């Protein structure tokens, strides 16, 4: 049977998202497209460019966690709830 632990799947502790883990913030300067930032703000429903960038990065990290979790589940049999 494959190892399906969170560690084997490459997931962090807790709810699984690095987005929930507080970390030190560091001022950075990036050259980013204003139109992409504005579009991200609107799509994500956030008020600031910083919030849009942080939310987008959280989504990227979460996507990787989903991929790792799915890969860890390959070969695991899932029983139907309808079985009696």
pTM exceeding 0.85 = no
Within a domain: residue 57? yes
Within a domain: residue 79? no
Within a domain: residue 50? yes
Residue 54 is part of which domain span? 1-14+30-74
What Å distances lie between residue 16 and 24, 34, 56, 71, 79, CA to CA?
Answer: 19, 31, 17, 15, 24
Within a domain: residue 80? no
Give the count of domains, the chain: 1
Within a domain: residue 83? no
pLDDT one digit per residue (tens) for the chain, 84 residues: 445 444 544 544 444 555 456 788 899 999 999 999 999 999 999 999 999 999 999 999 999 999 999 999 988 888 888 865
């Amino acid at each position: 049977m494959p190892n399906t632990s969170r560690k084997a799947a490459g997931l962090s502790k807790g709810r699984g998202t690095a987005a929930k883990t507080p970390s030190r913030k560091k001022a950075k300067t990036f050259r980013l497209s204003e139109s992409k930032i504005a579009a991200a703000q609107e799509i994500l429903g956030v008020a600031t460019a910083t919030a849009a960038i942080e939310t987008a990065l959280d989504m990227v990290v979460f996507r990787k966690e989903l991929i790792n979790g799915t890969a860890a589940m390959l070969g695991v049999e899932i029983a139907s709830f309808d079985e009696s």
